[in-house]
């Protein structure tokens, strides 16, 4: 499944370094190589990235992944969605922490 979080992180990493291998992406994202391959293929099919084959002295062939104009637009939009989701998670966590802080304060105030 291509979640906003995966899409955001993958597009961000490829924009910074188009020469990252799928193995390096998997390592940086904490995902399996198969999952990264699936995500990359999905982004290629959607037209968000293009893969270009090039020769490399270490690897007989490798790929460079370029964000397309459609991919740059998607990255901007997914960044906003991902940011809003993280802010909502932060606000929820902040509220939960406040409830726990009050409960801890009450527990300390009770005589033993």
Q: Please give the domain boundaries of the chain with CATH numbers for all domains.
A: 4-109 (1.10.10.10)
Looking at residue 63, its pLDDT comes to: 85
Using the predicted structure, report yes or no on whether residue 29 has a pLDDT greater than 70: yes
Looking at residue 4, its pLDDT comes to: 87
What is residue 47's three-state secondary structure?
A: coil
Please list the alpha-helical segments (H only) found in 17-68.
Answer: 22-29, 33-45
* Residues 75 and 30 sit within 8 Å (Cβ to Cβ): no
What is residue 7's three-state secondary structure?
A: helix
Locate tokens 């409960």: which residue? 103
Tokens of 56: 């490399």
Which tens digit of pLDDT belongs to each residue from 56-106?
A: 656 556 788 999 999 999 999 999 999 999 999 999 999 999 999 999 999
Q: Is 6 exposed, middle or buried (0-12, 13-18, 19+ CB in 10 A)?
A: buried
Looking at residue 28, its pLDDT comes to: 95
Looking at residue 2, its pLDDT comes to: 73
Looking at residue 99, its pLDDT comes to: 96
């Amino acid at each position: 499944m291509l979640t906003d979080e995966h899409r955001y992180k993958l597009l961000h990493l490829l924009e910074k370094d188009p020469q990252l291998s799928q193995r390096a992406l998997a390592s940086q994202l904490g995902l399996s190589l198969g999952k990264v391959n699936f995500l990359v293929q999905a982004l290629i099919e959607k037209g968000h990235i293009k893969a270009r084959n090039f020769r490399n002295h270490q690897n007989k062939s490798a790929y460079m992944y370029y964000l397309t104009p459609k991919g740059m637009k998607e990255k901007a939009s997914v960044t906003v969605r991902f940011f809003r989701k993280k802010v909502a998670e932060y606000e929820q966590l902040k509220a939960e922490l406040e409830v726990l802080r009050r409960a801890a304060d009450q527990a300390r105030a009770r005589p033993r």
